[in-house]
Chain A
Amino acid sequence: AQKITQTQPGMFVQEKEAVTLDCTYDTSDPSYGLFWYKQPSSGEMIFLIYQGSYDQQNATEGRYSLNFQKARKSANLVISASQLGDSAMYFCAMREGNDYKLSFGAGTTVTVRA
């Protein structure tokens, strides 16, 4: 079974608008961590934001926020005030328990239009 599901292969967003990238996950472990990474065309994976399963509040990092809905097993990334430099592939990933392995989703390509 797929542990991380990203259902949006590609999205277009207008500059300065907000965009939400969907991510749902599947785990029976009560302790897990959820991550979002950005991968521009240059190839480097850039860590954006982290949410722990026991965290009470949604994580935020600058223009990035994570909409964590535990009961629905979703961890959507919201990028506010999109910039042209936000055009990239975005991956949602999960770590379960103390496992070091990250399970990645298939990714969502975001294209920001001027």
Chain B
Amino acid sequence: DAMVIQNPRYQVTQFGKPVTLSCSQTLNHNVMYWYQQKSSQAPKLLFHYYDKDFNNEADTPDNFQSRRPNTSFCFLDIRSPGLGDAAMYLCATSQGPYEQYFGPGTRLTVT
């Protein structure tokens, strides 16, 4: 019954060691999003894909990259994680510009 799945739920990485977070969806939605959420703050959009069209937010650091190999999957790559990148990373999907459905999130710890 799961609709938006994120793996892993918890990820620990070392300072500077590349890490990849994954997201998959069974909703067949055409838009996928990646958000960063720090403690007690609102989610912050990093980028989104409309089909294969990549849209980066202006203030998303170059350290963050994304791939969407097909409709179902989307990956977030953090090339050189810093301590400030420790956060919850939320993946979401939508069909067009309508309600977004979120996955359970991946909590990233950087040591």
A residues engaging B (CB < 8 A)? 33, 35, 37, 42-47, 50, 91, 95, 98-102, 104-107
Shortest Cβ distance from A43 into B: residue: B105
B97 touches A95 (CB 8 A): yes
B99 touches A35 (CB 8 A): yes
Q: Give the interface size bracket for B toward A.
A: 20 to 34
Rounded to whole angstroms, the CA-CA distance of A93 and B101 in the bound complex is: 13
B45: CB under 8 A from chain A?
yes
Shortest Cβ distance from A42 into B: residue: B104
A33 touches B98 (CB 8 A): yes
B31: CB under 8 A from chain A?
yes
Known: A100-B31, A100-B50, A100-B94. A47 touches B45 (CB 8 A): no
Q: Which residues of the partner chain A approach B40 to less than 8 Å between Cβ atoms?
A: 107
Q: Which residues of the partner chain B approach A104 to less than 8 Å between Cβ atoms?
A: 42-43
